[in-house]
Amino acid sequence: MNYFNLKYLFLPMSRLLLAAVLTAGFVIGGCASAPEEIAEAQSQRRNNNQPKAGSATPVDVAIARIQALKQQPEYTGTTVPFRVVSLRSQVQGQLLGLNADIGTNVNQGQTIGQVDEALLVTSLNQAEAELASLKSEVVRANTQIGNARAEVERLRLELVQAQADAQRQQSLFKQGAIAQQAAEQSRTKAQTAAQSLRAAQAQVGNGQQAVITAQGRVVAQQALVNEAKKRRNYAKLIAPITGVITEKVSEPGNFLQPGGEVLKIGDFSRMKVVVQVSELELDKIRVGQSATVRLDAFSNQTYTGRVARISPAADATARLVPVEVEIPNTNSKIGSGLLARVNFASLESPKVTISQSAINVGRVTGENKAKQQDNSRSPSQSSNQPRQAQIFVVNEGEKPTVAAREVMLGESADGKVEVLSGLQPGERFVTRSGKPLKAGESVRLSILSEKTQ
């Protein structure tokens, strides 16, 4: 290879090497200046974000409302009918038939089934026959009394006649017209008539007593007849309440004893929800207290009920107390055994409640500041004791401003605190601010602020 060829070979390569060196120099120079430019850009953004002198401070604003501080716990329970009544046989006999089944609606007084009444009819016939016999005895006794009274009247007349004869015979004897024996016979006859009359009168009295006794037996037997008739009516199984048959215990053909259960009828006009409440929460529940009930089966509907009964006995192991809540069931669509979720209304009257962050915006001054310092030194002291604090309320206008407000705080829970005094429902207050606020300072409401309706 000659010199000229080598010259033309190395010339392009030298040019490429020169270009690479120049490019690396530009890159190194750019990297050296990048940190300065980035720092300058960040500083410019921070300056733009800082509020300018005299500009409104952005704040989050909320509206004071009356609401419960703590959310009440939710209890789960099961729906049961308002009451369940067992239909039992009151007589002995075979169950002949039932004209209702589980799920059948029945009305009070409706005949549901029939028990064999053969024995009842026989018993009733015997009682009625005995009653007729006793009534016949009363009739016979009254007849005998009538005869005895007639005999008494006849003997009375005879006595009157005998006494008159005896007086006349005695008068004749005194005159010497008759012998003494005839006068004595006449007096003896009068005495005999008097004895016969007394005997007849005694017989009348005995007859009257016999009638009274017979009439008493008639009254007693009449009661037995009425009882037999009533027992015969017991052969019909009649619904004691209006409701739905929930269980069939016996079937036609079974022999029933008095008190034997046949059916169970549930009253679904109202429903009960039984929940188990801890003994620690029992002081927050009272009979008659309102409760909100939701059923998983009807998730789009809420029922308002009331506490109907609190069991006096708690479970010895779990320390849970059964509480019954009644709810209406006007359309009868709520059945038994449904899962229910119960929230009891709070017994405490709701107060104005604000978020805890609103307290942090304010300034604690004076005596309240000292109390706060004491509380920080004594952690054991309850934070729910009434205490004073400062919040900022918003004055509406073309240019909204804030005003410092001293409020008295009560209990706090779940990031909220009660306002006992110093703030009225509907007033707007600051919950969060871009910088510490001062009274009278202009503010700008953020998009997170609550709007008045």
Q: What is the pLDDT of residue 384?
A: 58
What is 59-70+350-445's CATH number?
A: 2.40.420.20
Q: Please give the structure tokens belonging to residue 317.
A: 């192991």
Reply yes or no on whether the pLDDT at 240 is more than 90. Answer: yes
Percentage of the chain with pLDDT > 70?
A: 81
What ranges do the domains of the chain cover?
Answer: 59-70+350-445, 119-233, 265-344
Buried/exposed 32-53: b ≥16 CB within 10 Å, e otherwise: eeeeeeeeeeeeeeeeeeeeee
Reply yes or no on whether the pLDDT at 326 is more than 60. Answer: yes
Q: What is the mean pLDDT of the chain?
A: 79
The C-alpha angle 358, 370, 405, rounded to 5 degrees, equals: 35
Crossing angle between the packed helical segments 118-175 and 180-233, to the nearest 10 degrees: 170
Q: Please give the structure tokens belonging to residue 122.
A: 């026989």
Reply yes or no on whether the pLDDT at 216 is more than 70. Answer: yes
Q: Tell me how long the chain is.
A: 453
Reply yes or no on whether the pLDDT at 45 is more than 50. Answer: no
Model confidence over 260-292: pLDDT tens digits?
999 999 999 999 999 999 988 888 899 999 999
Max CA separation in the chain (angstroms): 226
Model confidence over 384-404: pLDDT tens digits?
577 888 888 888 777 888 888
Model confidence over 94-149: pLDDT tens digits?
999 998 899 999 999 999 999 998 888 888 889 889 889 888 888 888 888 888 88
Strands 443-445, 57-63: pairing is parallel
Reply yes or no on whether the pLDDT at 47 is more than 80. Answer: no
Task: Average the pLDDT over each of 6-15, 81-90, 146-155 and give the range with the smallest value.
Answer: 6-15
Question: Which of 380, 374, 372, 363 has the alpha carbon at shortest distance from 430?
Answer: 363
Q: What is the pLDDT of residue 136?
A: 85
Residue 240 near residue 110 (C-beta atoms within 8 A): no
Reply yes or no on whether the pLDDT at 371 is more than 50. Answer: no
Q: How confident is the model at residue 362 (pLDDT cuts 50, 70, 90)?
A: low
The full DSSP string for 111-128 is EEEEE--HHHHHHHHHHH
Q: Is 348 helix (H, G, I), strand (E, B) or coil?
A: coil
Q: What is the pLDDT of residue 238?
A: 92
- Residue 208, C-beta contacts closer than 8 angstroms, at least 6 positions apart: 145
Q: How far is CA 444 from CA 148, 363, 396, 400, in A?
A: 122, 20, 11, 7
| Range list of H helices, 50-117 | none
Question: Which of 243, 335, 268 has the alpha carbon at shortest distance from 297?
Answer: 335
* Amino acid present at 47: N
DSSP 311: -
The full DSSP string for 119-173 is HHHHHHHHHHHHHHHHHHHHHHHHHHHHHHHHHHHHHHHHHHHHHHHHHHHHHHH
The C-alpha angle 347, 349, 351, rounded to 5 degrees, equals: 140
Q: What is the pLDDT of residue 54?
A: 53
Reply yes or no on whether the pLDDT at 182 is more than 80. Answer: no
For residues 66 and 70, what is the distance between their CA atoms, to the nearest angstrom?
12
HSE of 373, CA atoms in CB hemisphere, 13 A: 7
Q: How confident is the model at residue 35 (pLDDT cuts 50, 70, 90)?
A: very low
Contacts made by residues 194-199, CB under 8 angstroms, sequence distance 24+: 194/159, 194/162, 196/155, 196/158, 196/159, 197/152, 197/155, 197/156, 197/158, 197/159
CATH domain 265-344 topology? Elongation Factor Tu (Ef-tu); domain 3 (2.40.30)
Mean of the pLDDT values across residues 292-296? 92
Residue 393 near residue 428 (C-beta atoms within 8 A): yes
Question: Which of 400, 390, 409, 399 has the alpha carbon at shortest distance from 428?
Answer: 400
For residues 168 and 145, what is the distance between their CA atoms, to the nearest angstrom?
34
pTM strictly above 0.75: no
Residue 168 near residue 190 (C-beta atoms within 8 A): no
Q: What is the pLDDT of residue 453?
A: 61
E strands, 320-427, in order? 320-328, 339-344, 351-355, 387-395, 401-413, 416-421
